[in-house]
Amino acid sequence: MIYPWLKALHAAAALTWTGGLLAAAMAIQACAGAKVPADTADRRRALDTVRRWDRHVTSPAMLLAWVLGIAIAIQGEWFGSLWLAIKLGFVVFLSAMHGLATGTLKRLALGSLPSPSSALRHIPAATVASIAVIAVLAVVKPF
Amino acid sequence: MSTPEARAEEHRQLRWMRAVSLLEGSTLLALVLVAVPLKHLAGVPMATRIMGPIHGLAFLLYVWMLARTVCAGGWPRSEMIRLVAAAFIPFGAFINERRLARRQAVLAACD
């Protein structure tokens, strides 16, 4: 009875988390490509808005997605399935991506990083690819 | 990081990171040294069913916080690899905690 509710809330939390992660990643990309100086008030305000959203919405959604995901796996007795083990690997990867994005946003907002590393421009693509793989694994359960 | 605001942020971040390191290390020890023997030697599979997910959550939190701390502090990549590698071995998180404490002391000395 509770299982579909857990699943629905998990999907909502995961969508909120990954949507926020994409927004943060795009904000970092915008800073990397911007021609304006790093310490302008406009840039600081924009970064503060993204960081506030992350602190109050994206990060709590991530924690909720983790907890509900584990609750679903216990309820459905999915631990031990190969598809779940692979999915968990992607969850660890997405969590690390989120950590990298929020850490970079913090440095940008504090003015200690004038321009983000070019390697971070791959975060949006890596996030979308991971979401696609996770969706296939969770819905199709191929293994 | 050079401004007082940035240093205060890094102090806060390191304090959290140390706490999460200890949490991750403690749950791994509880899993490996208590729950697994209980399952295999005493026939209590419930022990790993409880401790496994708790350690999983602690590990996710650790990875997330580590990426955040390292990126926010502009740490070298080698340091990050060392910290992640240590998370996979029992007692490694405690070594990390000491390393983070040393970094925090260095930061405090610069204030």
The percent helix, strand, coil of chain A (3-state, each to 5) is 85, 0, 15
- Report the chain A residue with the minimal C-alpha distance to residue B13: A103
Neighbours of B30 (CB within 10 A): 17
Q: Is A74 on the interface with B (CB under 8 A)?
A: yes
Neighbours of A136 (CB within 10 A): 13
- Give exposure, A67-97, as e/b (b: 16+ Cβ within 10 Å): bbbbbbbeeeebbeeebbeebbebbebbbbb
The percent helix, strand, coil of chain B (3-state, each to 5) is 85, 0, 15
> Higher pLDDT residue, B102 or B2?
B102
Burial of A103 (C-beta count, 10 Å sphere; 0-12/13-18/19+): buried
Distance in Å from the first CA to the final CA of chain A: 26
Q: A94-113 pLDDT, tens per residue?
A: 999 999 999 988 888 877 77
Quick check: B85 pLDDT over 70?
A: yes
Alpha-carbon distance values, B91 to A89, B28, B94 (Å): 23, 9, 5
What region, left, alpha or beta, does residue A77 occupy, with left being phi > 0 and alpha being psi -120 to 50 degrees? left
Residue B29 to residue B21: CA distance in whole angstroms? 12
Q: Which residues of B touch A (CB under 8 A)?
A: 1-3, 5-6, 9, 49, 52-53, 56-57, 59-60, 63-74
**Residue closest to A116 by CA, chosen among A24, A35, A28, A46:** A28
Place of tokens 């857990």: A6
What is the ipTM metric for this complex? Answer: 0.88
**Residue closest to A23 by CA, chosen among A80, A117, A97, A107:** A97
Of B1, B60, B74, the CB nearest to A92: B60
What's the one-letter identity of residue A79?
Answer: F
Confirm whether pTM is higher than 0.90: no
Q: CB distance B66–A98 less than 8 Å?
A: no
Q: A43-101 pLDDT, tens per residue?
A: 788 888 999 999 999 999 999 999 999 999 998 888 889 999 999 999 999 999 999 99
